[in-house]
Chain A
Amino acid sequence: MSIYFVNKFLYTIDRSPEWVAAYKNDPRGSVDRWEEEVGQWLQPAERTTWLSFTPDEREALATHDYVWLFEHGAHFFLNLTLFIALYDEEYAERSGPLSFQREMADKLSPWLGQEYPSVGL
Chain B
Amino acid sequence: MAELTAVLASTHHPFYYKATTSPEEQRPPYAGAWQRKVEAYRATLTAAEPDILVMVGADHFHQLWLDNYPQFLIGQQEVYDATFYNEEREFGIPTFRLDGEVEFSRFMHRELMGADFDFAVSHELKIDHSIICPIITVRPDADLPIVPIYTNIFVPPLPSPKRFYDLGRAIRRVIDAYPTDKKVAAIGTGHLSLELGGPRQFGEHGPDPLFDAAAIEWLSTGNAETILANVTHETMSQAGNATHGFMDLLLMMGIAGEGEHADYVDQLDLFHTREMYMTWYPNRNQQQKEAAERAARVSGASLGPIYAHDPVWDQFREGATA
Give A contacts to B, CB under 8 Å.
4, 7-8, 11, 14-17, 42, 70, 75-81, 84-85, 88, 97-98, 101-102, 104-106, 108-112, 115-116, 118-121
Contact = CB atoms under 8 A, between A and B. Distances in A.
Contacts of A8: 66
Contacts of A108: 198-199
A14 B86 contact: yes
A111 B199 contact: yes
Interface stretch (B166-174, B177-185, B200-208): B200-208
Contact of A70 (B65, B156, B198, B272): B198
A105 B196 CA distance: 9
A51 to B, nearest CB: 11
A81 B198 contact: no
Interface in B42-91: 60-62, 65-67, 84-86, 89-90
User: At the interface, is chain A mostly helix, strand, loop or mixed?
Assistant: helix
A15 B242 contact: no
A76 B85 contact: no
Contacts of B242: 76-77
B202 A75 contact: no
B65 A105 contact: no
25 contacts: A7-B66, A11-B66, A15-B84, A15-B85, A16-B85, A70-B197, A70-B198, A76-B196, A76-B197, A76-B242, A77-B60, A77-B61, A77-B196, A79-B197, A80-B201, A81-B90, A97-B28, A98-B202, A101-B201, A105-B198, A111-B199, A116-B237, A116-B241, A120-B155, A120-B157
A69 to B, nearest CB: 9
Contacts of B156: 118-120
The bracket for how many chain B residues form the interface is 20 to 34
B117 interface: no
Contact of B86 (A15, A76, A111, A118): A15
Interface of B: 28, 60-62, 65-67, 84-86, 89-90, 154-157, 196-203, 237, 241-242, 272
A85 B90 CA distance: 7
Given A7-B66, A11-B61, A80-B196, 6 more contacts: A8-B66, A11-B66, A78-B61, A85-B90, A104-B197, A116-B241
B90 A105 contact: no
A20 B61 CA distance: 16
B210 to A, nearest CB: 16
Given A76-B196, A97-B28, A116-B237, A81 B86 contact: yes
Nearest to A66: B197
A8 B28 CA distance: 35
B199 A109 contact: yes
Nearest to A112: B199
A120 B157 CA distance: 7
